[in-house]
Structure 1
Amino acid sequence: MAVLAVMCVGMFLVLLDVTVVNVALPSIASGLGADPAATQWIVDAYAVAIAGLLLAGGTIGDRIGHRRVVLAGLGIFGAASAACGLAAGPGTLIAARAAQGVGAALLLPGSLAVITDAFPDRAARTRALGIWAGVSSLALPAGPLLGGFLVASGGWRLVFLVNVPVVLAALVAVPRLVTAGCGRPDREGDAPGTVLAAAGLAAAVFTVIDAGEHGFRAVTVVGLLVAAGCVAGFVVRERRASAPMLPLDLLRRPAFVGPNVAAGAMNLVLNGMLFVTTLFLQGVQHRGPVAAGVALLPMFLPLAFLAPLAGRLTARFGPRPPLLGGALVAALGAAGFALFEPDSGYLALLPAFLGIGIGAGLFTAPVVAAAMAAVPERSGLASGINNTARQTGTALGIAVFGAVAGGTAAPNAFVRGVHVLAGAGAAVWLGVALLVAWSVGRSSPTWPRSG
């Protein structure tokens, strides 16, 4: 159990840093003089690095052993967290956040592999993975709340520095608790595919953020061309690679493509809305960081509490019903953001928060399960691609939603942007519902049935 506890701590920190920074953004922007574009990159640098390197992290672990990768991930994540906390300017902080993402991309698959190896008994492994998933689901709602308290008590730097002692303790514990294991040096990687994917995503995010801040200028067009070139190069590479990062034959399976696109769209709207809502609560309504963190809980608590229910519904009825129900509820929640005004009371905001949270809570577990069930013979790869799709959605969502909303220096214009995003978010969720209805079967023989 000690191994499980240490791996859960590492995973908790990685997922916590997806959301914990959001409530600190106004303080960071004020303290470092960050403009809206830099503020977006402070969040997005982390997501881009994870999305671009996640599959490579799993492959590296297979090659050299997962304990080594976990230790490397912890070391990089801890050092980068210290660099974030000591950053003297926006550029330094963005670079350190990207380094945090590199560490996270090693930790995410590495911790899961270590747990799998540590519990060879099937029943014990299932219980361990259930605990791991439960702890992971608590990280997202804990982020805004913990971030608010840390900013209020010690300033925004504490949001990052609090990771350091935890990581140091984990670095001491892992060599003592986790067996070294044997790597598979013969396992091929796909370094060119990884570079092209990461560069393409970074270029796409840059293009969106720069266009939102400055309009289409020469450097924006260059970013767009680089993104398109990387995508084309990635496709060519994956067709020729002996061990492709993304086997293109999977893209001919609607039952696999649909859930992964849906998972990316879910994170795009959820984390895009989180980004602009945090700015709305603090920059427009002038709530403190703790009050903003508490206000955001209805967006994330349902993710933790509804996951078991969604899993049971999926086991009984297949993934399609909870996916459709979750998408429709989330669409209503997204539409509710159209009612936001600068002087709106919390009761006017709550339906939108709850709708988004409940919809995502019903959606998350079955969308992962649907993607896995579509490729039962390659479950590890399927899981990695699904996580990559979700992190890609997060990176693009923050870029797009931040570009549309703009900065809070002009509150009325910002709120008008939120109203546009409400319609766009609802439309995305309705599109997801149609995608699910087309790609996910009513039932599947791979799903266990209960009475």
Structure 2
Amino acid sequence: MPPACPRHTSAATEAFPVSAGRMRTAILFTMCAGMFLVQLDVTVVNVALPTLGSELHADVPQLQWVVVGYSVVLAALLLTGGALGDVLGHRGVVLTGLAVFGAASAACGLAQSAGWLVAGRAVQGVGAALLLPGTMAVITGTFPDRTERARALGIWAGISALALPAGPLLGGILVQAAGWRPVFWLNVPIVAAAAVATRRLVPPDVRKPGRVDIPGAATAALALGSGVYAVIAKTPWVGLLAVAAAVAFVAVEQRSAEPMLPLSLLRSRQTAGANLVSAAMNFVGLGSVLVFTLYLQDVLEAGPIAAGVALLPMFVPLVLLGPVTGRLTAKFGPRPQILAGLVLGAAAMLNLLRIGPGSGYGTLLPTLLVLSVGMGLLTAAVVTAAVSDAPGERAGIAGGINNAARQAGGALGVAVFGAVAGEPAAHASFVHGLHLLGFVSAGLWLAAAALAAATVHSRGREKASCGDELI
């Protein structure tokens, strides 16, 4: 989205008779509210899973779909959401995203079955895919000055990041006080307030000529959705459909005049390598959140609030290290932080081999802390690596591709981790599954470290997409 023209500022000031600075600040925090909800719903549901599973008579595969129904759709439609904003206007797309997200949240709160809830979560993913690129584009247009824009996007990223530790804690409090439904109803009044503020504060923006890559979006969604289904349902034939859809997606993007995923950006070894590392990072990170939540509540028999507090060491270091890693990356390049983060994460997952059916929280704690530190070192650095080789005018698209890679990796991780761990009621087999996941995850991250060492530049050309680091 191009910088806002003077016409935009005057229109908004007439709608709200306040100073231009205060108006821009109001727009910034309205967009932050939308993004906070998008991020919150990645983690807030996990603590509610045992409770809603009991009430809705849902097994582990159905609980996996409650999580991945959201992330699969978000990953598949993320780039399409950005393209829709360019063609139709980001203000309208943000308003649509808020409406879809709010309505879907209400539907989730009313759900009477696991299938109903999964469908609602998928529609939430549609709203999130419109909001994530749309809120960033509105902020970019509202702050035409580069310095102010960087500061605003930093605030946007920081508030978004706070949703990660807030999710388990807030979810635990709500579930223990009033059940799992308020986890979703919480979104509705916030979305309504954000929609009113967006309509009054944000002026219509300039639309760009172009079209949306519908075939690309459809084949991407089919490939990712069927791949996740094949893992959860253990159905190899659906896996073949996922492979066929992935091949069709590549073919469609190669032939499209305006592709959703410009394949030319992946010709850079660093860009391709960084996106694979990003997918591996979220594969382990979000998959771990699922099984650790089940372990804490079903094996260690912790209550929802206690489980939410117990998960904080997995998120707080990640948030705190984000700005530090950004400065280190600017000074030393992304490779040292990526390698250090991956090695620490591998060591953290190997610690799962120490867990037994009778182990307490103290045995799991080192994994939570060290994995969070590893991801804190990784996140900003790997985003920087993903966008550094992209031409300046395509850095935003490169950042969007990296976001999509992370979301897709996370969705697959939840599917695989849940399938391997199995039912937590069978404590011995569940713990055995944790051992296997620890071993495989460590191997995956060490392989990712080797890939990063071979593909990521040691120094130079760092141009992080401000605001993407902590998403």
Which residue number in structure 1 is paired with residue 220 of structure 2?
197
Counterpart among 412, 416, 419 of residue 432 in structure 2: 416
Aligned residues between the structures: 439
In structure 2, how many angstroms separate the alpha carbons of the residues matched to 1:354 and 1:194? 37
Stretches of structure 1 lacking an aligned partner (at least 5 in a row): 212-219
The reply to whether residue 113 of structure 1 matches residue 137 of structure 2 is yes
In structure 1, how many angstroms separate the alpha carbons of the residues matched to 2:105 and 2:435? 35
1:297-312 correspondence runs (5 A): 297-312=312-327
Which residue number in structure 2 is paired with residue 348 of structure 1?
363
The reply to whether residue 68 of structure 1 matches residue 68 of structure 2 is no
Residue 183 (structure 1) shift: 1.3
Letter in 2 for 1:130: G
Letter in 2 for 1:385: I
Which residue number in structure 2 is paired with residue 398 of structure 1?
414
Residue 446 (structure 1) shift: 4.3
Residue 441 (structure 1) shift: 1.1
Q: Deviations over 1:130-172 (max 9, x none)?
A: 1011111111111111110010111000100111011111111
| Contact 1:330–1:360 (Cα < 8 Å) also in 2 | yes
Distance 1:229 1:9, change over 3 A: same
| Contact 2:346–2:445 (Cα < 8 Å) also in 1 | yes
Which residue number in structure 2 is paired with residue 10 of structure 1?
34
Which residue number in structure 2 is paired with residue 217 of structure 1?
none
Counterpart among 318, 322, 334 of residue 349 in structure 2: 334
Which residue number in structure 2 is paired with residue 361 of structure 1?
376
| Contact 1:318–1:447 (Cα < 8 Å) also in 2 | no
In structure 2, how many angstroms separate the alpha carbons of the residues matched to 1:26 and 1:252? 44
Which residue number in structure 2 is paired with residue 98 of structure 1?
122
Which residue number in structure 2 is paired with residue 145 of structure 1?
169
| Contact 1:8–1:132 (Cα < 8 Å) also in 2 | yes
Residue 336 (structure 1) shift: 1.0
In structure 1, how many angstroms separate the alpha carbons of the residues matched to 2:318 and 2:113? 34
1:90-239 correspondence runs (5 A): 90-184=114-208, 186-211=209-234, 220-239=235-254
In structure 2, how many angstroms separate the alpha carbons of the residues matched to 1:445 and 1:81? 42
Which residue number in structure 1 is paired with residue 397 of structure 2?
381
Which residue number in structure 2 is paired with residue 314 of structure 1?
329
In structure 2, how many angstroms separate the alpha carbons of the residues matched to 1:164 and 1:398? 26
1:252-267 correspondence runs (5 A): 252-267=267-282
In structure 2, how many angstroms separate the alpha carbons of the residues matched to 1:445 and 1:10? 32
Stretches of structure 2 lacking an aligned partner (at least 5 in a row): 1-24, 465-471
In structure 1, how many angstroms separate the alpha carbons of the residues matched to 2:220 and 2:97? 20
The reply to whether residue 29 of structure 1 matches residue 44 of structure 2 is no
The reply to whether residue 55 of structure 1 matches residue 79 of structure 2 is yes
| Contact 2:36–2:159 (Cα < 8 Å) also in 1 | yes
Q: Report the RMSD for the aligned CA atoms in angstroms.
A: 1.1
In structure 2, how many angstroms separate the alpha carbons of the residues matched to 1:328 and 1:446? 22
Segment drifting more, 36-45 vs 334-343: 334-343
In structure 2, how many angstroms separate the alpha carbons of the residues matched to 1:104 and 1:206? 21
| Contact 2:99–2:127 (Cα < 8 Å) also in 1 | yes
Letter in 2 for 1:352: T
Which residue number in structure 2 is paired with residue 440 of structure 1?
456
The reply to whether residue 248 of structure 1 matches residue 263 of structure 2 is yes
Q: Deviations over 1:8-56 (max 9, x none)?
A: 0110000000000000000010010011111100000000000000000
Which residue number in structure 1 is paired with residue 302 of structure 2?
287
| Contact 2:387–2:463 (Cα < 8 Å) also in 1 | no
| Contact 1:299–1:354 (Cα < 8 Å) also in 2 | yes
Segment drifting more, 152-161 vs 241-250: 241-250
The reply to whether residue 430 of structure 1 matches residue 432 of structure 2 is no
| Contact 1:137–1:304 (Cα < 8 Å) also in 2 | yes
When normalised by structure 1's length, the TM-score is: 0.96
In structure 2, how many angstroms separate the alpha carbons of the residues matched to 1:309 and 1:399? 32
Residue 250 (structure 1) shift: 2.5
In structure 1, how many angstroms separate the alpha carbons of the residues matched to 2:77 and 2:332? 35
Residue 428 (structure 1) shift: 1.1
Letter in 2 for 1:195: A
After the TM superposition, which parts of structure 1 deviate over 3 Å for at least 4 consecutive aligned residues? 445-448
| Contact 2:332–2:459 (Cα < 8 Å) also in 1 | yes
In structure 1, how many angstroms separate the alpha carbons of the residues matched to 2:136 and 2:37? 14
Counterpart among 358, 363, 385 of residue 370 in structure 1: 385
Letter in 2 for 1:345: G
In structure 1, how many angstroms separate the alpha carbons of the residues matched to 2:132 and 2:171? 21
In structure 1, how many angstroms separate the alpha carbons of the residues matched to 2:258 and 2:338? 32
Name the SS for the 2:259 alignment partner: coil
In structure 1, how many angstroms separate the alpha carbons of the residues matched to 2:260 and 2:205? 24
| Contact 2:168–2:311 (Cα < 8 Å) also in 1 | yes
Name the SS for the 2:445 alignment partner: helix
Residue 341 (structure 1) shift: 2.1
In structure 2, how many angstroms separate the alpha carbons of the residues matched to 1:147 and 1:432? 32
Which residue number in structure 1 is paired with residue 21 of structure 2?
none
Letter in 2 for 1:132: W
Residue 447 (structure 1) shift: 5.8
Residue 445 (structure 1) shift: 3.9
